[in-house]
Structure 1
Amino acid sequence: MRRAAERTPAHRDRYVDLLRAVAITAVVLGHWLAVHVTYDGGFEGGSVLETVAWTRPLTWLFQVMPIFFLVGGYANAASLASYRGRGGNAVEWTLRRTGRLVRPTAALLAVLTAAALAARAAGVDPGLGGTAVWLAGIPLWFLVAYIAVVVLTSVMYGAHRRFGLAVPVGLAALVGVGDLARLGAGVPYVGDANYLFAWLAVHQLGIAWRDGRLPARRAVALPMAGLGLVALTGLTVAGPYPVSMVGIPGEEIQNTSPPTLALLALAVTQTGIALLLHDAGNRWLRRVRPWTAVVAVNSVIMTLFLWHMSALVIGVLALHAAGLLPQAAPGSPYWLLLRLPWLGVLALILAGLVAVFGRVERRTGPLPAPGSAAGPVPFVLTLAGAAGALGGILAVAVAGPGDHGPAGLSTPGLVAFFAGAAVLRFTRWRYRGAQ
């Protein structure tokens, strides 16, 4: 990794990679800290946020998926512009970009399917097995939205070039309309469009950052951070939205399911802070050691994200078998003390999983050559493959815990995903060229 770090082009904005690494690390730690599992004749668990009210404001720190989408917008815009400059088109770029997302996801779902089938054959209760693989698949929720914004990047980049910052403002307005329809008028389903509109809005901020319309200057960053924080406080403390930026089972309003104006206010706050720290971050990353660490994390970023809940499931089973599963009451001093060894065990397990499956993410496979995938056929194949993969992941994610078929997960969802992934792989192979 040190050699790869030393070969980094001088023009690369290293701070963007740092933000991505920090965001995923915070998500991993946040999930591990929030989940508590005990055993009393059977496994029981839930989220600490449900029972320990003082933990809910901490989600303002740990809910950093907006940063991930912000960085995604920056990186996707830079990558698309560069690829088009080499004579490529949007279809080829989409095939390339989705490969690194779909390939490690296929590995995760294949392993979860095999594990669930093996557990069922060994006589494990199907409901328990289904809940375990559902818990391991929780990261799929955000992956649905991220793959969708990647597929739409070329369209949204064109909208940005024509309308600039009016695009995220308009998308935020649509989120507000969805909130009003869902929470004010009680109209069902309308607000579900916010799953796309909200994350597209944050992604557009990243595009604007990369294009220079949202510059990393104090005159821009400080007002964004300040106004975003004022709006966030007003919408949650004084307004109708909950303080928690992570969904709590049973609550009528949740800020992530679907995303709300409050979550967008958090996104604006985090964007302002990110822009404010840009120059200092880049200066720090001129040092070899921190930049090498950032390069190492980013080389397996999807593997870390996709497998961190699998590490939790494995950790619970291993600690239970060893008689070491924590039984402390959530929020108690003993529970807080046990968080350190708990995180240490899960980190070791995740490191092992990354060592095994990280190579799947690093492997590039066949890639289309610039100018090779022109015309309606590759467009239709790419669209069909992406739709199948997205629909499959969505079906698996929304099924919830429980027994949903031989593999514990939604059988139609698994079939749709692997069919879509196969179509995308075939299309990349059919139009493969120089790497």
Structure 2
Amino acid sequence: MPEPTETALRRRARHLDTLTPASRDRAVDALRALAVLGVVLGHWLVTALVAEDGTLRTASPLQRLPWLAPVSWVCQTLAVFFLVGGHVATRGHASAAARGVPYRAWLRGRLDRLLRPVGALLALWTVAATALLLTGTPLNTLHTLLKLALSPLWFLLVFAALTAATPLVARLNPLWPLAVVLHVDVLRFGLHTGPDWLGWVNLPAGWLVPYTLGAAWARGEFRTRRAARTLLCGGTAATVALVLWAGYPASMVGVPGAAISNLNPPTLAAVTFGLAQCGLALLLRDRLRAAMRRPLAWAAVALVNLSAMTIFLWHQTALMATTAAALPAGRLPGLHTLPDGLGWVAARLAWLPVFALVLAVCWTAFRFREQGPRRHGPGSRPGRSRVVRVHRGAGPEAGRGVRRVV
């Protein structure tokens, strides 16, 4: 008699739980998963593709419904991703150096998995863009689609650059890049003397702040909750002050038509908001570790971590594929209509499961680019999950395989 699906899932989750080394900090994986899913959900909630006069253009509910700004506070989680990235890269580089692994080999391994899934995205959209041009798609529609599809790449480029700079910035005090952001914003918005390109200095400097906080975490500088509470309270107070009295937008993502975008490039308000997020993330570590002792919760987090870049790269494509596929049915609420009221918000919430289903199809088709193909050779079993791998150490467990979560 076939094993019930729920029982099989629980059995596999328990098996993964037993294979995970006790030394692994599951809170780090949980924070990374929450950061990725927050960005995905945020984009799905505040990105609208409006069908008008045979074309598609982007719009945002935040433009006409500014009271939805708190959505951006919950879902703009990039600072947490950079915090975790700095933590993991700093520990990984120190471990590699201790084992005598050259910097170049360490960096190649770090960047390989990060950038490997990009090729599939670029290949698909090259074919799609060519097909759309040949079928007479308006250029402004094509521009809208390509801008959304390729927008995640800016994040990967910045993250890759900071990863490569880990040996140089691992001991950098976060106050230094924070000071750069402060001075850039004073020139841009206070004195109005900076050139147009000056704001883009904040792109590396702004995300370097949470990255170096992650490095400090890896060095053990956040063992107590006091430092995390200081980050949370100080970052929150600074952000509130900047929004109320310095003219920064309340939304932590860009809003079409707004004079200032907090994210493109990052402003001082986005960075102080990121400090608050990092403080909250550090405060939640113990609770997340406790939650990750549940096998099903840990299995879900491990699955997201294994496919983090695939999910991140393809979530906008999933939204656009759903929107395009539904066009023959007319202008559907929450999908092709102007985001100007509660009705649109309710309809968009109803579309989220459809976006998730299409993203799952993309994940099934392209996750191998991130995880690598399954092996079917000697010593491996067909269909074996890449969630675990064999690791041989020099300790008491040397000589027998110790499977670890990747």
For the criterion TM > 0.5, the same-fold answer is yes
Q: Distance in 1 between matches of 2:184 and 2:109?
A: 33
Structure 1 match to 2:138: 125
Structure 2 match to 1:401: none
| Aligned-residue offset at 1:213 | 1.3
Structure 1 match to 2:125: 112
> Which shows bigger deviation, 268-277 or 38-47?
38-47
Q: Deviations over 1:381-423 (max 9, x none)?
A: xxxxxxxxxxxxxxxxxxxxxxxxxxxxxxxxxxxxxxxxxxx
Is this contact kept in 2: 1:72–1:203, CA < 8 A?
A: yes
| Aligned-residue offset at 1:270 | 0.9
> Which shows bigger deviation, 126-135 or 199-208?
126-135
| Aligned-residue offset at 1:20 | 0.7
1:174 aligns with 2:180: yes
Q: Distance in 2 between matches of 1:229 and 1:18?
A: 23
Alignment match of 1:193 (pick from 176, 179, 201)? 201
1:226 aligns with 2:233: yes
Structure 2 match to 1:85: 98
Q: Distance in 2 between matches of 1:364 and 1:92?
A: 21
The secondary structure found in structure 1 opposite 2:116 is helix
* Structure 2 spans left out of the alignment, 5+ residues: 1-11, 375-406
Instruction: Specify the code of the residue in structure 2 equivalent to 1:179.
Output: D
Is this contact kept in 1: 2:27–2:289, CA < 8 A?
A: yes
> Which shows bigger deviation, 190-199 or 296-305?
190-199
Cα gap change, 1:150 to 1:267, in 2 (>3 Å): same
Is this contact kept in 2: 1:178–1:192, CA < 8 A?
A: no
The secondary structure found in structure 2 opposite 1:45 is strand
Structure 1 match to 2:66: 53
| Aligned-residue offset at 1:321 | 2.2
Matches within 5 A, 1:93-172: 93-157=106-170, 160=171, 167-172=173-178
| Aligned-residue offset at 1:186 | 2.4
1:203 aligns with 2:215: no
Q: Deviations over 1:41-64 (max 9, x none)?
A: 323431111221111233111111
| Aligned-residue offset at 1:364 | 8.0
Alignment match of 2:283 (pick from 276, 289, 296)? 276
Q: Distance in 2 between matches of 1:40 and 1:249?
A: 17
Structure 2 match to 1:405: none
Cα gap change, 1:276 to 1:129, in 2 (>3 Å): same
Instruction: Specify the code of the residue in structure 2 equivalent to 1:113.
Output: T
Alignment match of 1:336 (pick from 336, 342, 345)? 345
Is this contact kept in 2: 1:247–1:256, CA < 8 A?
A: yes
Instruction: Specify the code of the residue in structure 2 equivalent to 1:201.
Output: V
Q: Distance in 2 between matches of 1:91 and 1:348?
A: 39
Instruction: Specify the code of the residue in structure 1 equivalent to 2:211.
Output: H
1:314 aligns with 2:321: yes
Cα gap change, 1:250 to 1:27, in 2 (>3 Å): same
1:304 aligns with 2:304: no
> Whose helix fraction is larger, Structure 1's or Structure 2's?
1
| Aligned-residue offset at 1:303 | 0.4
Q: Distance in 2 between matches of 1:99 and 1:219?
A: 37
Alignment match of 1:235 (pick from 237, 242, 259)? 242
Q: Distance in 2 between matches of 1:78 and 1:4?
A: 24
Is this contact kept in 2: 1:76–1:153, CA < 8 A?
A: yes
Instruction: Specify the code of the residue in structure 1 equivalent to 2:31.
Output: L
| Aligned-residue offset at 1:244 | 1.1
Instruction: Specify the code of the residue in structure 1 equivalent to 2:62.
Output: L
Is this contact kept in 1: 2:60–2:255, CA < 8 A?
A: yes
1:264 aligns with 2:276: no
Q: Deviations over 1:136-168 (max 9, x none)?
A: 1121222221111111112212xx0xx6xxx21
| Aligned-residue offset at 1:331 | 4.5
TM-score by length of 1: 0.78
| Aligned-residue offset at 1:261 | 1.4
Q: Deviations over 1:205-257 (max 9, x none)?
A: 00101111122x32222222111111110011222211111012332322112
1:18 aligns with 2:62: no
Q: Distance in 2 between matches of 1:144 and 1:314?
A: 25
Cα gap change, 1:102 to 1:290, in 2 (>3 Å): same
Is this contact kept in 1: 2:337–2:344, CA < 8 A?
A: yes
Instruction: Specify the code of the residue in structure 2 equivalent to 1:17.
Output: D
Structure 1 match to 2:51: 39
| Aligned-residue offset at 1:328 | 5.1
Alignment match of 2:355 (pick from 346, 356, 370)? 346
Is this contact kept in 2: 1:116–1:130, CA < 8 A?
A: no
Instruction: Specify the code of the residue in structure 1 equivalent to 2:61.
Output: V
Structure 2 match to 1:357: 366
TM superposition outliers: structure 1 runs of 4+ over 4 Å: none
Would you say how many aligned residue pairs link Structure 1 and Structure 2?
358
Q: Distance in 2 between matches of 1:17 and 1:173?
A: 30
Alignment match of 2:221 (pick from 209, 213, 235)? 213
| Aligned-residue offset at 1:324 | 6.1
Q: Deviations over 1:241-299 (max 9, x none)?
A: 11111012332322112212111111111111111111111011111110011001111
Q: Distance in 2 between matches of 1:322 and 1:249?
A: 27
Structure 2 match to 1:410: none
Instruction: Specify the code of the residue in structure 2 equivalent to 1:82.
Output: S
Is this contact kept in 1: 2:65–2:340, CA < 8 A?
A: yes
Structure 1 match to 2:256: 249
Alignment match of 1:9 (pick from 18, 21, 27)? 21
Structure 1 match to 2:404: none
The secondary structure found in structure 2 opposite 1:205 is helix
The secondary structure found in structure 2 opposite 1:38 is strand
1:62 aligns with 2:71: no
TM-score by length of 2: 0.84
Aligned identity (percent) is 38
Structure 2 match to 1:406: none
